[in-house]
Amino acid sequence: MECIVCESKKLKVLNLKNKYYFCKNCELIFIDRENIIAADEEKERYLGHDNTHQNEGYVRMFEEFIEVVIDPHLENKGRVLEFGCGPGPVLADLLAEKGFRVDKYDPYFYPELEFEEEKYDLITSTEVFEHFSDPCKEIDLLNNLLKVGGYLAVMTSFHPGPEEFSDWWYSWDPTHIVFYNLKTFQKLIEDYNFEIIFCDQEKYILFKKTA
Ligand SMILES: [Zn+2]
Q: How remote is the CA of residue 34 from the centroid of ligand 1, in Å?
A: 19
Q: Is the CB of residue 38 less than 8 Å from the CB of residue 17?
A: no
Ligand 1 centroid from CA 27, angstroms:
6
Residue 105 Cα distances to 85, 109, 145, angstroms? 6, 8, 12
Per-residue pLDDT in tens (0 to 9) along the chain, 211 residues: 999 999 999 999 998 989 999 999 999 999 999 999 999 999 998 888 888 888 899 999 999 999 999 999 998 889 999 999 988 899 999 999 999 999 999 999 999 887 767 799 999 999 999 999 999 999 999 999 999 999 999 999 999 999 999 999 999 999 999 999 999 999 999 999 999 999 999 999 999 999 9
Q: Which residues surround ligand 1, an ion (CB under 5 A)?
A: 3, 5-6, 8, 23, 25-26, 28
Q: Strands 146-155, 120-126: parallel, antiparallel or unpaired by DSSP?
A: parallel
Separation of CA 5 and ligand 1 centre (Å)? 5
Query: Ligand 1 centre from 93 Cα, in Å?
Result: 36
Question: Is there a contact between 10 and 162 (Cβ–Cβ < 8 Å)?
Answer: no
In the chain, where are the structural domains located? 38-209
The angle that helices 56-65 and 90-97 make with each other, rounded to 10 degrees, is: 50
CB 136 within 8 A of CB 188: yes
- CA 136 to ligand 1 centroid distance, Å: 11
The confidence score (pLDDT) of residue 54 equals 85
- The confidence score (pLDDT) of residue 117 equals 73
Distance from the alpha carbon of residue 17 to the mean position of ligand 1, in angstroms: 22
- Cα-to-centroid distance, 177 and ligand 1 (Å): 15
Domain 38-209 in CATH 3.40.50.150? The answer is yes
Amino acid 115: pLDDT: 74
